[in-house]
Amino acid sequence: MVLCTDMSLHFQQIKNMKSMITLPENVDKTKALSLIVHCADIGHPAKKWSLHEQWTNMLCEEFFRQGDREKELNLPVSPLCDRNTVVVAQSQIGFIDFIVEPSFQVLGDMIERIVTPKSPTSDEKEGEAKRFEKPSEKRDIPAVSRPWLACFKENKEAWTALAPDSKPKT
What size, in residues, is the chain? 170
Say what angle helices 10-20 and 101-115 make with each other, to 10 degrees: 30
Would you say 67 and 82 are in contact if contact means Cβ atoms under 8 Å apart? yes
| Residue numbers belonging to the annotated binding site | 41
Question: What residues have CB less than 8 Å from 154, skipping those under 6 apart?
Answer: 48, 49
Radius of gyration of the CA atoms of the chain, in A:
21
| Residue numbers belonging to the annotated binding site for Zn(2+) | 41
